[in-house]
Amino acid sequence: MPLGPIPLGDDTACAKAARGTWGRFLKKVFAADPLVCPDCHGPMRIVAFIEEPRVVRAILEHLSLWDAARPRPPPVAAIGPADFEYVPCED
């Protein structure tokens, strides 16, 4: 079975079922139908997948939607055994 996106022109029963499953999954996750236009409520379809990270970043930066992650702060020193004092209890 080939991996990757199913071509839009593929109208086999398996391809149609896979596209329907994808749409139902996204609808459950995001509580919105990904194939319905939020403005006019008409049907939408996928026309392309953009997979190159640099192209995705360029598009999102152009739209002011790129949220560059800030550098992480340095790790905090872990608490070690030297930070505790052992006091034996007498039972």
pLDDT digits (tens, 9 = 90+) for 29-44: 878 787 788 889 898 8
Gap between the Cα atoms of 40 and 64, Å rounded: 25
Q: Are 36 and 26 in contact (CB under 8 A)?
A: no
Gap between the Cα atoms of 79 and 24, Å rounded: 47
**What are the domain boundaries of the chain?**
1-67
What pTM did the predictor assign? 0.38
| b/e 49-68 (16+ beta carbons within 10 angstroms → b) | eeeeeeeeeeeeeeeeeeee
Task: Give residue 1's pLDDT band: very low, low, confident or very high (50, 70, 90).
Answer: very low
Q: What is the pLDDT of residues 5-26, one digit of tens each?
A: 556 566 778 777 776 677 778 7
